[in-house]
Amino acid sequence: MTEEQREFTGDDLGIGTTYLPIGSVVELKGGERPLMVAAVMARDGNSGRLWDYMGYPYPEGRRDVASDYFFDGDMIESLLHLGYFNDETMAFQSFLAEQEGEYRRQRKESRGEDRS
């Protein structure tokens, strides 16, 4: 994976997490506007594909189903705002870390990627 393709994670910020917390605001590579992270390990109900994140346009949020944006960590250009952290956030991050292997396997499967 090249530097350009490398996934942006909480580890990049020195916060020791795999995923950005809910409420974080990011800019995507080639994106037109910021998105607020609303979910992690999210499934697109239309395509069935798994994505690292689901977000909504910032600042107005979700207006309709067409405003659901699904994206992966390697699509993030920059972090504009880090979401709220407390003990519950850290417990949830631990849960996500435990699920990471199974999530990656299911994500590849949802995209029809080679399982090897």
Over the range 15-32, which residues count as b (16 or more CB within 10 Å of their CB) and which as e?
A: eebbbbbbebbbbbeebe
* Residue 76 to residue 31: CA distance in whole angstroms: 9
Laid out side by side, the sheet with 50-57 consists of 69-71, 50-57, 35-43, 25-28, 76-81
Asked whether residue 93 is domain-assigned, the answer is yes
pLDDT, tens digit, 9 for 90 and up, residues 30-67: 999 999 999 999 999 889 999 999 999 999 988 887 77
Asked whether residue 20 is domain-assigned, the answer is yes
Neighbours of 113 (CB within 10 A): 9
The answer to whether residues 63 and 69 touch, using CB atoms and an 8 Å cutoff, is no
pLDDT at 10: 55
Bigger pLDDT: 9 vs 25: 25
Average pLDDT of the chain is 85
72, exposed or middle or buried, with CB in 10 Å at 0-12, 13-18, 19+? Answer: middle
Asked whether residue 75 is domain-assigned, the answer is yes
- Identify the domain containing residue 44 by its residue range: 3-110
Domain count of the fold of the chain: 1
Asked whether residue 116 is domain-assigned, the answer is no
